[in-house]
Amino acid sequence: MKYELARTWAPGLRVDGWFTDPPPVAVPNTPRALVEELLSVVGASLDDLLAQSYSIFHYRLDHQGRFPETMQPEGYTLRELFLGSVDAEGKLSTLYETPKGTNVELWTMFLRVLDRTTRAKLANYVSSNMAVNEFGEVGSAAMRQALTLRDGEVNAAFPMSGTRLIQAFPLSEFSSNLTREVGRHSGMF
């Protein structure tokens, strides 16, 4: 298959807009690539882009194609959606990239769980000693940061001591194909 990205913009959700020229050479297919593309088009600062840009696309995926009532739907900023922040050097840091020293497959599974299940149960796992054992200190801290970006805080009612991630969230619940997708329903396309 061959893909081409057409960039457009419009002043509202259900209003005709305009094409932006020239089209990029490649289609941005990761959170980092999309943010970098948006930075080149919009001209905003990285922090402003993460905090004040919303993904109507992901909102529509999660709500059976319906448009939101507002241009700023709660929970759909690029910061929340892409688990993004600005690092000490002023560059994009996204938790969709595996933290150093963390097992890639486990991190991918964590991201799938984060996008697809109730996060109360995940907070119980992240607050357990098993999260540190399986993901290490850096990975465990990144998990807490991801939950904080999505929910504002990590509230664990009953930490799951001694329960591995794959036991708490069996892979069969999500499929046997372990891929990284942003959002619950992004695998539809």
Each domain of the chain, given as residue ranges in start order, spans 1-94, 98-182
Query: pLDDT tens for residues 149-172?
Result: 988 878 777 888 889 999 998 877
Structural contact between residues 122 and 114, judged by C-beta atoms closer than 8 angstroms: yes
Determine how many CB atoms are found less than 10 A away from the CB of residue 106: 18
Out of 3-17, 81-95, 131-145, which region has the weakest mean confidence (pLDDT)?
Answer: 3-17
The pLDDT value recorded for residue 189 is: 42
pTM across the whole model: 0.82
Does pLDDT of 188 surpass 50? no
Mean local confidence (pLDDT), 11-37: 84
Mean local confidence (pLDDT), 32-40: 90
In order of 22, 110, 169, 181, the CA distances from 44 in angstroms are: 19, 31, 39, 26
Strand locations in the chain (E):
8-9, 18-19, 84-86, 92-94
Query: pLDDT tens for residues 102-143?
Result: 999 999 999 989 987 678 889 999 999 999 999 999 999 999
Determine how many CB atoms are found less than 10 A away from the CB of residue 85: 16
Task: Spell out the alpha helix ranges (H) of 88-128.
Answer: 104-116, 119-126
**pLDDT > 70: what percent of the chain?**
89
